[in-house]
Structure 1
């Protein structure tokens, strides 16, 4: 990976981490499967997503911190971040540019993917 590509990936990861840790800087969506769980379980899942830091070359090959899975109270959960243009109509042309990107963090049961 070139220095430019590494810098771009690092900026995307920084923006993704900010959204995931704070739920600010984008939108956060939970699926029907998550919403159907008891409130304590949902809270534990949200905390697990916010504090996730087990990124490896296997689960984060592009170093963008954009997707992962975790298990919370025996339930396999997946979260992923997608990038849309400001109108939310098309994909973003540059995920490293927050002025042209709306980040959407989706938290779901792994079997909903």
Structure 2
């Protein structure tokens, strides 16, 4: 019979859990920086959003900037990377994706700004 020390087993699991939590916290902060301060990435609007005109675009950007209604239901991974909203009776979707610095592949680590290019896409829900 192998004699395991339960503290060591649980300690390793807790270390992994802590590392994952730190990764999520870093990713969330970088996403919030892009969403609320327009820092650390690129924001793209679709043709449907562009067609709404400058005033509507300003209202949509302002609403996304102020958005803080993240819940386990709409943000299950805690990364603040996506939402569906209604702004001036227009249903929109915004989503942050993580690419490598060439924007050719997915990022190997979304929590590391040195290897990740963030792109937030804002679209009308009917364009999705």
TM-score for both structures, normalised by structure 1: 0.96
Q: Which has the larger radius of gyration?
A: 2
Q: CA deviation at 1:23?
A: 1.2
The alignment status of 1:55 with 2:65, answered yes or no, reads: no
Is it true that 1:88 corresponds to 2:103 in the alignment? Answer: yes
What residue in structure 1 maps to residue 126 of structure 2? 111
Q: Offset of 1:6 from its aligned partner?
A: 1.2
Question: Equivalent residue of 1:99, what SS?
Answer: coil
Residue 82 (structure 2) aligns with: 67
Deviation at 1:5, TM superposition (A): 1.0
Aligned residues: CA RMSD: 1.1
- What SS does the corresponding residue of 2:114 show, helix, strand or coil? helix
Q: CA–CA distance in 2 between the matches of 1:93 and 1:69?
A: 26
Please say if 1:12 is aligned against 2:27: yes
- C-alpha distance in 1, partners of 2:25/2:126? 30
TM-score normalised to structure 2 length: 0.85
State the match for 2:46 in structure 1.
Answer: 31
Deviation at 1:7, TM superposition (A): 1.1
Q: Where does the alignment leave 5 or more consecutive residues of structure 2 unmatched?
A: 1-15
2:83 alignment partner, SS class: strand
Aligned residues: 113
The runs of at least 4 consecutive aligned structure 1 residues that moved more than 2 Å come to none
